[in-house]
Each structure stands twice: as structure tokens, then as C-alpha cells.
Amino acid sequence: MELNNAWVVITGASRGIGATIAKAFAQKGATLILIARSKEGLEKTCHQVENLGGKAHAIPFDLEKISQIENLVEKIYKLTPRVDVLINNAGLEKYCFYTNYQCKDILSILSVNLIAPMELTRLLLPGMLNQRKGHIINISSVAGKLAEIYNTLYDTSKGGMELWTDALRQELYKTNVKVSSINPGGVTDAGMIYNIGEKYPILLGSCTSQDVADAVINCTSRYKSRVFVNNIPIKPLVIINVLFPRLLDAISRWIGLTKVNRKKVEKRLREDILKSTKENSLN
């Protein structure tokens, strides 16, 4: 797809992978519509895009509010007559022992990570079909193929995204609307790994936000249905998981993934205790 003068919608664009993807599209001459909860974060990304000579519009919106996504789409079409590329990037994760999750966590993570992308795509897809071109790119995760311990809700949402992407791609086969899944491994400069200062297990590989953005841009110019973004091959582990799932469980323990993820849980628990202590002191 020719990206110069294309209209690109990106969710979760206030920081991290989303902001990096936005800058990559700006350098290709696309006009961006950026969506995220943080108005301040969106403004920062817009400034970065403009400094690169690009154009960007910000729409602050909480994708957890599924029933209001129709209003979001109305705002999008007030800014542009068409959407050429949709990047479903927004996502939440919470490392936690499963019994410590609350119902609100289940609803929140599944809403933002899976239901919101499905609904936004459902509402924007008719326009792409009418204009006879478009590309839907879902930023999924290796976790959608290889479940991570202590990250059950995120894994579930990304596994669902993988199946939805596959089904939609097959449905749109005879149209000129493409559907792709981008599957990053452990991202070293954004997200939970970066925030706790922990190194991702070297035998699982890793990637950067820029690696993900490059994969997205390449996917629009040379179509691929699924791209794994990792500095070591991940497909052998996917095959092992299908054929010998308990073997993969053992491999995960051996390479240190269980240990790293437990540290994430412990960090979350410490933060929750500190927050609760502060709240109690104010009451």
C-alpha cells in the first residue's frame, strides 16, 4: 500500500510501541489519527510526529468504554473521509496470581485488548470495503501463541486476538482489505519488562519498539498475514507447544521465564500494598 497521504488510525498511541509506530508512519507521509486515554501522552506523540514533518490528530478516548466506540468512530470520520490502515495496538496487562485477579480486571483487560479492537474494526470495516482497499493490523503478542505464567488474562486476550485475526483474514480473502497480526516477543524498551528493570530470558529472545514499528511498515508494503518480531526464531517453540505442551512448560521454567514473571507479580503486590497503605493513611 502507498502510505504517502494515507490515513492511519492507531490506538494506544500515547507512548511505547504505539508512539513509535506513529512516528514510523509519519516518516512515510501518512496522516495519523491517534487514540489513547492520556491526552497529555497523545499531545506528546503529536508533537513528535509534527517534528518529523508529519500530520497527526489526537482523540483522547478510553477503549474500555465499549458502548461509546460508535461515538469514537463518528469523531474519526469528522477528521477524515476514509481510513486506509487501522492499527489495533492498545493493550493492558497485569501480572498476577490467578486467584488474586478481580472480576474488574477480567472485564478491563478483555475489553481493551480484544473486544474494543473487534468493535472498532467492525465499525470501520464497511468503509474499507466500500473504498475497496484497507489494511487492519493487530498488534498481538508471542503470548497469543505461547502462554506466559502469571499473565493469564493478557495471554487469553492475545490468544483470542490471534483466532479473530485468522478468521477475519479468511472472511476477507476475496476483498482488497488485508488483515495481519504482528507478534512481538519481550519488548525491552516498553511495558512491564522495561518498567521493573528486568532482563527478558535470553533464550526466548526479545525486540524493541522500533523493531515492531519496522515490522508494521514492512507489512503494509509487502503483505504478510503474521509476523513474529523477535531476535531469535520463535516458531519452533510454537510447534513444541502444539505437540508437547508440558515440554514447553518445562522449557519455560528452565530458561527462567517463571522466575522473571514471578518478580513482576511480586512488584505488583508491593505496589498494591503501598497504594493501599497510602489510601488508608488519608482516611
Q: Which residue has the cell 519488548?
A: 187
Report the catalytic residues.
Answer: 154
What residues contact 262, with CB distance under 8 A and at least 6 apart? 149, 150
d(CA 151, CA 133): 36
d(CA 192, CA 197): 8
d(CA 234, CA 245): 15
CA angle 202, 203, 205 (to 5 degrees): 65
